[in-house]
Amino acid sequence: MEEKKAIKEQEIIEDVLKSELDFITYVDTDTGVCHTIITNEGTDVAPPPYGDYAAVNEVSIPKYVHPDDQEECARALLLPNIIEELRSKDHIVVPYRLLCGSSYRRKELSICYHGDDKKTIVMVRRDVTDSYEEEQRQNERLYYALMDARHANQEKNEFLERMSHEIRTPMNSIIGLSYLTKEYVGHERQVLENLDKINKSAHFLLSFIDDILNLSQIESGNVAMVQQDVELDSFLADITRRAEKWAKEKQITFAVERRGDFDREYCFDAEKLGKALFNILENAIKYTQQEGRVDFIVERLHDANEEATVRFEIRDNGIGIEESFLPYIYDPFEQEEEHGTTLNGGTGLGLSIARNIIEFMGGKIDAYSEKGKGSTFVVTVTLQKVADYETSLRKQSKSEKLDYDFSGKRALLVEDNEVNIEITRNILTHKNLEVEVAVNGEEGVNAFLSHEPGYYDVILMDIRMPVMDGLTATKQIRSAERADSRRIPIIAMTANVFEEDVRKSFEAGMDAHLSKPVDIKQMYFVLDSMIYG
């Protein structure tokens, strides 16, 4: 029974060894004779069961080993060299390529002593082709990953350098002009000119930061379209008015052509589509020389019961774009003329943002250009019609109100930044709104609760504050057991500008959201809407 078990176990060992190895052989160091004791039947090239070790190598190495490996293999497998190597090592491994059939496969021959007398050298050969190729593939993957990481790091550095340049340039103007304005106190004309330049630099800086944030949000897909009823005629008039103003400053002819009727309302994100179209118009004006021409052609291509397809064509006779550069015009920061100055040359983000917005809306943008002759951009979008158009025609926008007066009304301003407190309070008191201040959310909640219902007419709430943030403070006010806790208008006034931040504000119970730096006209309009309804 024990004998059968031993035989079976020996057979199992031999089967496993044969499946994993090409062969096992040993060499007597005194006689130089080799004995092969296990051979895999599938092995193409193996030593004989018995023979002179040196003679076997003399025949097999030139015949089967890859020409590029023959010299090193012959040297490494000389018996004296093996004995010398094993003086300082427990085992050695000799890799080489071996001709197996019609192709070469990678082999590794592991060599070590058997027994303490060091009279017997054992050699085990295994096929490592598959593992070698997988290792090479892994190394290739790691190499490309490293290259990608280096490229990404380079892009990051270039991005940071560009960001630094675009931010520092207008900041340099703001700081320098602020200093000079102090020096020109008493010279009204120079002070006003400096203030205009400071305002221009500040708005460029704000626009640049907004572009970076917008591009990041749109490319990540973390953005939602704010659908609203918009009178297309007014929408076009607003874009046209802004473009005409800038074209006039550059002494460029700006012509508008409308093909079709645009006096009804459609449901779309006016802010984003307006941003996309104005970015393209801005580029056309920017890169058209003095006394040049920019045409803005709007055409209604298709009109169905529920939707209409509108085509916007922006054509200029400016400097144009090289054909080879056209594939890159939508890449962030890409500009054909890199030597343009920041305030006049732009940042290279406008077209990237425009394309992302238009494609996000399900539209299409095409570009045609010839160097030295001008460019044409064509935008096509489909807009949903507003069903109850007759009712919408009767709406009167309070945003056209020329002046505001909040006499007899009181606001609670919850803000932790001293400069922002001073600026906001002055803006509000300018329209006769009484203002009380709390410097964090907890103080804001306590101020609200410590006065009788109706004491405050509106609350302006920052979001990021120490002690208690604005979202938490708003939730506590809304959950208070007071007659006015749910009806008092709470307006977010914060630098958190992403749509996710706006959503969180409304979920916390706020009624409106103003982004810093605040548009003063918009602030007055929102306050008027919240206080007077």
Domains delineated in the chain: 18-127 (3.30.450), 154-220 (1.10.287.130), 228-395 (3.30.565.10), 402-532 (3.40.50.2300)
Backbone phi, psi, residue 32, to 5° = 75, 15
Is omega for the bond preceding 170 within 30 degrees of 0, making it cis?
Answer: no
> Residue 100, class by beta-carbon neighbours within 10 Å (0-12 exposed, 13-18 middle, 19+ buried)?
middle
Which pLDDT score is estimated for 389? 47
Alpha-carbon torsion 128, 132, 135, 141, what sign? negative
Which residue matches tokens 């050969």? 125
Phi, psi of 410 (to 5 degrees): -130, 135
Angle at 194 (CA atoms; ends 192, 199), nearest 5 degrees: 95
Cβ atoms of 420 and 450 closer than 8 Å: no
Q: Please compute, for residue 96, the number of CA atoms within 13 A of its CA located in the half-sphere on the CB side.
A: 24
Q: How high is the pLDDT of residue 491?
A: 94
CA triple 366-313-221, angle to 5 deg: 50
Q: What contacts 24+ positions apart, CB below 8 Å, involve 176-182?
A: 177/201
- Sign of torsion, CA 438 441 443 446? positive
**Cβ distance 248 to 254 under 8 Å?**
yes
Please name which of 324, 325, 242 lies closest in space to residue 284, comparing C-alpha atoms: 242
The per-residue pLDDT for range 82-123, each reduced to its tens digit, is 999 999 999 999 999 999 888 999 999 999 999 888 999 999
Report the C-alpha gap between 342 and 200 in whole angstroms.
12
Angle ∠(349,355,360) on CA atoms, nearest 5? 125
Residue of 477, 525, 471 whose CA lies nearest to 494: 471
φ/ψ (deg, to 5) at 193: -60, -45
Model confidence pTM above 0.85:
no
**Going by C-beta distance under 8 Å and a sequence separation of 6 or more, which residues neighbour residue 532?**
none
Q: In this structure, what token pair is assigned to residue 196?
A: 């205009």
Q: What is the pLDDT of residue 72?
A: 94
| Single-letter residue type at 526 | V
Structural contact between residues 122 and 26, judged by C-beta atoms closer than 8 angstroms: yes
Q: CA-to-CA distance for 114 and 120, rounded, in angstroms?
A: 5
Amino acid identity for residue 171 in this structure: M
User: For residues 373 and 317, is the Cβ–Cβ distance under 8 A?
Assistant: yes
Strand partners, 315: 295, 376
Place of tokens 């002690």: 467
- Tell me the average confidence (pLDDT) per consecutive run of 10 residues in the chain, 533 residues long: 65 64 90 89 82 93 94 94 92 92 91 91 90 88 84 71 72 83 83 85 75 67 69 87 89 90 80 88 90 91 81 92 85 61 56 86 90 92 73 45 84 92 92 95 95 95 93 94 92 78 88 85 90 84
Start-to-end CA distance of the chain, whole Å, equals 101
What number of CA atoms fall less than 13 Å from residue 277's CA on the CB side? 29
Cβ atoms within 10 Å of 150's Cβ, excluding its own: 10
- SS3 call for 459: strand
